[in-house]
Amino acid sequence: METLELLKQLERILQCQLNRQTTIKRKLYQADTFLQWLCEAEKDICSITPSDIYRYLESKPFCRAVQVQNLQVIRTIFDIFIEKELIFENPASQVRIKHEPITRSYDLPTFEEIKAITEKIMKIESHLALRDFLMVELAYGSSARVGELIALNIEDIRLDDKMILLKGKGRGAAKERTVPITDIAIRYIREYCRDRISGPLFLSYRGKRMTASAIYQRFKYWSGRNPHIFRHCFATHLLSNGCPTDLISKMLGHERSSSTTVYTHICDSDLQNRINNSHPRKISFIADKN
């Protein structure tokens, strides 16, 4: 089977399973990377063993989560070959990704740093700067993901109720959530949408719906940071101020409360640092390095 034909069939399968084009593009890229590796290694895909797949995954600087994503794609590729009766067993089904404790380290901006970023944006008197301010405000003030900023329509905003409908990852109403918006967001949404009553909220300078890459570029331009960091700040700052984790989990659109526990670890680390820096007996809080 030719690589192009295989990728087209994989894309059809993904289109049936998913509705996020960014996810489909990522999986197709991962599949193409694996097939290129096979070609460079001069390996016949029909004779691949689990050891070959382990070797491929270990050859790439993937974290565990990305290894799992790649393994899922590879399994789908071999499922296609089984369906075509080119092979009779999926070698990827025998591959297991070893579970390792996840240690995450985030360099999160403080509230003062975020305030400085938004003030810097608002010093520019232009419609595009107003748009960029609102994207930052909704990421930090309402926990919006990049995909949710892209999908957000003017009709999804209820200014009188101070609520917006965010369309989360996945398909259907089950992935949607209604979250509050800040007073400052309401004020500037009214100004930004003064001449519009429907359609995409965030438009490019050409009047088209913003793309993921364009949003990443704007966040990078103003803050030097990934837009998802502002979502992390939303959760971490709420937690630091005593907001219950179940409420934060609902605001973030997490299906599992365990997904929110990463923010408790961040806050625990911050608490320990503050104690070490301010407690009069801080030396007893610091592990002996000898």
Q: How far apart are CA 120 and CA 133, in angstroms?
A: 9
Q: What's the token pair of residue 277?
A: 């820096």
What Rg value do the Cα atoms of the chain yield, rounded? 23
Known catalytic residue at 263: yes
**Strand runs labelled E in the chain:** 157-158, 163-167, 176-180
Residues 6+ apart with CB under 8 A from 9: 80
Known catalytic residue at 228: yes
Q: How far apart are CA 200 and CA 19, in angstroms?
A: 18
Residue in 143, 137, 134, 132 with CA at minimum distance from that of residue 220: 132
How far CA 9 is from CA of 6, 161, 230, in Å, comes to 5, 46, 37
Q: Indicate which residue of 228, 274, 279, 282 is catalytic.
A: 228
Known catalytic residue at 254: yes
Q: Indicate which residue of 43, 75, 169, 175 is catalytic.
A: 169
Known catalytic residue at 99: no
Residue in 36, 124, 31, 43 with CA at minimum distance from that of residue 70: 31
DSSP lists the bridge partners of residue 164 as 157, 179
Q: What's the token pair of residue 199?
A: 């359609």
Q: Token match 């992390």: residue?
A: 232
Q: Indicate which residue of 177, 231, 232, 237 is catalytic.
A: 231
- Catalytic residue positions, numbered: 145, 169, 228, 231, 254, 263
